[in-house]
Chains A and B, each alone.
Chain A
Amino acid sequence: MRREAGPAAAGDVVEKLARHRMIVCCGSGGVGKTTVSAALGMAIAAARDTRVLVLTIDPARRLATALGLTSIGTRPVTIAPERLRAAGLAPRGQLDAAMLDAKSEWDRLVERHAPSPEVRDRILANRFYRGISTAFAGSQEYVALDAVYDLQASGEYGCVVVDTPPSRNALDFLDAPDRLTDFVSARLLAWLAGPSRFGLRAMGFAATPFLRMADRLLGGEVLEELGAFVRDIQGLYGSVRRRAAAMYDLLRSPATAFTVVTTLDPQPFAEAEFLCARLGERSMPLRAVVVNRVLPRALLDPAGAVAATTLAEDPGVGAWLSAELGEPVAPAVPRRLGQAFLALHALAEGQEAQVARLGGLGRVPVARLPLADREVSDLDSLGELARRLREGPG
């Protein structure tokens, strides 16, 4: 019988994900996606005799340093097995890390898809190119996916863990290939790319007022230049479309496992619910959920709350403490201690409200990672998270 969703043993997550060749971690910004991706990569390298790559996008500096990523560039760096062992893991496989450089990935993409060296050079030299390649929604996501696709195709890695870009809308990643195809699609741009303005007129839209307006808006030469650029970009269309189709195939294939990372705070959690539903609609398989920064259950203890309330509110408690301990205790001390507990108690209760909804995310194993003792920024603390992912919080 299938395991019900909800509080499954955490070990299941690593075991389950380790069978896949590509793990895509998504979730809203600020939930610790990069950290979880790195820890997941470590856990899989420990569990499976294979080469694992963690591909991060814009990691925090200290985390990047911890992974040995000192300079930007998509070239993978191997984390020495001694360092993994020092971090408390017994690696069976190998762990590499890489940091995606969107700018150079874009150049690579143009180089690959351009129909001729002349077109390639014209595009790379165009002054709109940089703006366009970085500005449109999902552009960073697209190049990330493009790079991942290549890494997959190379067969160099048994497992690639992808940390998706910190986009406002996590769906950008999933829709990126379509958007890029749209972007270079003939239909939308035919107008601007038309050989002459008469070509535009022939399209039958209200082309003339549009052009007049655009001319007045931007000045004529900008439009001409943009038109030339669009003509060049269109040369990429067939190639980009084929590749986008292949990417969707990969995203929907059994080799891929989507993992949603969230905290139990109301906003990221609502986004996680939304994301899980959209993944289903796109036939992209959700395989696991990782809940990050869970507060300890002790904070929910009602008996603790009773004691804390006395500490916070009973005016005589300071004097009693002084007498009991035989040393002076300022009244502010018990007040602070009590208030601190009550504040955390309320936070933990807020998290608990989401726990009941975990099962609704999908029938997949859920791992819970505790609020870390310190900020996760070195290999030791990543190793600790990796162990927790494998063994569960027990």
Chain B
Amino acid sequence: MFQTLASGAAAGREGDLSSGGARGDALESLLARRILFVAGKGGTGKSTIAAALALIAAGSGRRVLCVDVDVKGDLARALGAEPVGFQPRLVQPGVSVLALLPEESLSEYLRIWFKVPRVARLTPLVRVLDFVATGVPGTREMLTTGKIAYEERREERGRPTWDLIVVDSPASGHLLPQLSAARSMMELTRGGIIRSQTEWVDQTLTDPRRTLLAICALPEEMPVAEAIELHDRAQAEAHVAVGACFLNSTLPVPVTPRDTGVLEALASGHAQAAAARLGGQLGPVLEGAAIARRLHDGDRRHASRLRAHMRVPVLEVPRQVGTAPGLETTRAVAAAVGGSAV
């Protein structure tokens, strides 16, 4: 039911990407990159939106890798799969997922770049390196970003293994160090192998034709403020371009004061007739209309604040009702965002 509401409501909305075409263009522009970081404050539905974008991209024939930077496995779940490990696993047609576990990131890193065999005794080493990674800004993040950049470069039979890599990023506070890891490493390390690798990672991330950031927000003060801050800082500090903002969980039905006026008029002088004609109670509907109006006003206020500040498309995603995060919700979100998913 919600999808139909959403498309109906989105169509006539002022300031929104009113036509399906504009929405589609914004979406296509995002999906035409090589790497897409999906970021935002916790609880903004990042994983679901990242998964929905992956399904839409796969729907247009792309081979997509989803990267879960959080060990919670939310991204795999949003794609209808059990939590995955470090090796990419195909979970939907055209969509593979991998989880970036810190320890495995490190041992793979060592294996790829230093030809260190995978050994069981790596653990104490990892603990110490983990400390080094905490101390030297960017080391840990570099492992993550390095792996993503490595996957971007991977080729099979002369063509890239992945057309698009969608990264379910950690919360904003950890994302910026991650995005600027290569840069800060370049400033810190004057020698060492890492120095030479950081340059191409940095080039990949700061090239807006290859890498974009999509920011998720909720129609509430703090998430909007954080989205705006992330938007500014990603560009100023990490030099990563922002491609779009998803305002998640909006109420898809615009109720105007005139609408509620009609309901009030009905309730005040025509309650009996209304009860007979409508076959139920008008009181709760009246209360619901007032709440809907308030929520909708809030949505509009927050959407315009985002639009006023960001010079990127702000796509509204209607709140999904009654479903827990999972493939079904992801498909609904994909449909609401305006793409055809696999």
Contacts and interface: CB of A to CB of B under 8 A. Distances in A.
A373 B275 CA distance: 27
Contact of A266 (B270, B292, B324): B324
Nearest to A218: B192
B68 to A, nearest CB: 13
A209 B193 CA distance: 15
Given A132-B135, A301-B281, A325-B266, A267 B325 contact: yes
Contacts of A221: 190-191
A310 B282 CA distance: 11
Interface string B238-280: 0000000000000111111011101101100010011101111
Given A216-B192, A340-B288, A375 B220 contact: yes
Contacts of B266: 321, 324-325
Interface in A185-209: 188-189, 191-192, 205-206, 209
Contacts of B252: 343
Interface in A306-336: 306-311, 317, 320-321, 324-325, 329, 333-334, 336
Contacts of B116: 209, 213
Interface stretch (A81-89, A105-113, A292-300, A381-389): A292-300
A222 B42 contact: no
A377 interface: yes
Interface residues of B, number: 79
A305 interface: yes
B291 A303 contact: no
Contacts of B114: 213, 216-217
Interface stretch (A68-76, A149-157, A344-352): A344-352
A308 B5 CA distance: 14
Contact of B284 (A63, A135, A303, A349): A303
B159 interface: no
A333 B284 contact: no
Interface in B185-225: 188-195, 218, 220-223, 225
Contact of B225 (A60, A301, A306): A60
B23 to A, nearest CB: 21
Given A308-B288, A324-B273, A375 B298 contact: yes
Q: How large is the interface on A (under 10, 10 to 19, 20 to 34, 35 or more residues)?
A: 35 or more
B242 to A, nearest CB: 21
B101 interface: no
Interface in B1-60: 1-2, 5, 41-44
Given A30-B43, A30-B223, A131-B135, A304 B292 contact: no
Contacts of A303: 280-281, 284
B285 interface: yes
A9 interface: no
A216 B225 contact: no
A258 interface: no
Nearest to B254: A336
B270 A344 contact: no
Contacts of A296: 287, 291
Interface stretch (B85-93, B124-132, B149-157, B306-314): B124-132
B341 interface: no
A341 B321 contact: no
Contacts of B285: 304, 307-308, 311, 337-338, 341
Contacts of A374: 294, 298
Contacts, number: 228
Contacts of A350: 321-322
Q: Is the interface of A mostly helix, strand, loop or mixed?
A: helix
Nearest to B288: A341
A268 interface: yes
Interface in A240-271: 266-268
Contact of A218 (B44, B139, B322): B139
Contacts of B288: 298-299, 304, 308, 340-341, 344-345
B342 interface: no
A347 B255 contact: no
Contact of B43 (A209, A214, A267, A375): A267
B280 A305 contact: yes
A91 to B, nearest CB: 26
Contacts of B321: 343, 346-347, 350
A220 B253 contact: no
Contacts of A210: 125, 128-129
A188 B134 contact: no
B112 interface: no
Given A307-B285, A346-B322, A219 B136 contact: no
Contact of B192 (A128, A217, A324, A343): A217
A158 interface: no
A229 interface: yes
A216 B193 contact: yes
B137 interface: yes
A312 B45 CA distance: 29
Contacts of A223: 132
A310 B137 contact: no
A374 to B, nearest CB: 7
26 contacts: A60-B222, A61-B225, A188-B128, A214-B129, A217-B114, A218-B136, A218-B194, A219-B190, A219-B191, A222-B192, A223-B132, A226-B132, A267-B325, A304-B282, A304-B288, A321-B262, A325-B262, A337-B255, A337-B262, A337-B263, A339-B5, A339-B253, A340-B255, A342-B1, A343-B253, A345-B288
Please give me the 8 A-B residue pairs with the lowest Cβ-Cβ distance, nearest first. Answer: A304-B284, A306-B280, A307-B280, A219-B192, A219-B191, A340-B292, A303-B281, A30-B43
Interface of A: 28-30, 60-63, 128, 131-132, 135-136, 166, 168, 183, 188-189, 191-192, 205-206, 209-210, 213-223, 226, 229-230, 266-268, 295-296, 298-299, 301-311, 317, 320-321, 324-325, 329, 333-334, 336-347, 349-350, 371, 373-375, 377
